[in-house]
Amino acid sequence: MKRIGLLLVGHIDAGSLHVGGDYPELYKSILEPEDIEITTYECDNGQMPDSLNEQDGWLCSPSRLSVYEDHAWLRDVEQLLRDMVATEKPYVGICFGHQLMAQALGATVKKADYGWGIGAKHYEIVEQQSWMDSSDEIVLAASHQDQVQNLPNGARLLAKSDYCPIGGMLIGERAWTLQVHPEFTPALADSLLATRLQLFGEDKAAAARATLSEPLQQARVAKWISRFFHHVS
């Protein structure tokens, strides 16, 4: 069993909490069967780890915030990510956690010309890793408007999509990130789309909901996360 700290920096929309709970419950549901024990740190409420050695590795949650918003606690998390890279602590960043790591290391994150990336999305794996399986593509749910605009110094491209050129990064051998959501079930992704029609537009939301009939590869990427933490920590 590996002990992983979840840096909680955002929450599932209240209108969809009934589907699977908030991020701590969602990550526990996919990772506890893979021999991962999750401990949550409510960073948005000021609960930061006293030491990066408290856990075997770290996972940063998604958020409805933008990484460039002005919140003092968010700058503290950003510094925490720089410290993880400097001390080579194992780290996985998802969606906001992908973007925040990029910004922490000097990259630009901003709203994409593409607009909202929603629904089931195909991502090409650019650089295979030992903790992956052999396939060169994954399919997971997306929900984001911001995108990483450039690779920060020292990072390598892990994954990309037709709408998102920097969809995942490798930072050294002990940190990686992914823009799409392994914790989103089709039911949750559908609920979030259904409750945010004004935000996305009805036509775009309907088209995105239709893509969710395609199987999402949650379990597969959960195994990647687990293998990574067991391999490096």
Give one DSSP letter per residue of 119-150, joined into a string.
EEEEEEESS--TTS-S-SEEEEEEEESEEE-S
d(CA 32, CA 11): 20
CA gap 226, 35 in Å, rounded? 7
- Quick check: is 43 catalytic? no
Work out the number of other CB atoms within 10 angstroms of the CB of residue 153: 8
Contacts of 64 (CB under 8 A, 6+ apart): 10, 11, 13
Nearest to 121 by CA among 137, 136, 139: 139
Look up 71 and say whether it is catalytic. no
What is residue 8's three-state secondary structure?
A: strand
In the residue annotation, 95 being an active-site residue is answered as: yes
Of 43, 60, 98, 181, the active-site residue reads 181
Question: φ, ψ for residue 172 (rounded to 5)?
Answer: 65, -145
Distances (CA, A) of 212 to 205, 215, 221: 11, 7, 17
Integer Cα distance of 70 and 214 in angstroms: 38
Find the catalytic residue in 60, 95, 98, 144: 95
- Just list the catalytic residues: 95, 181, 183
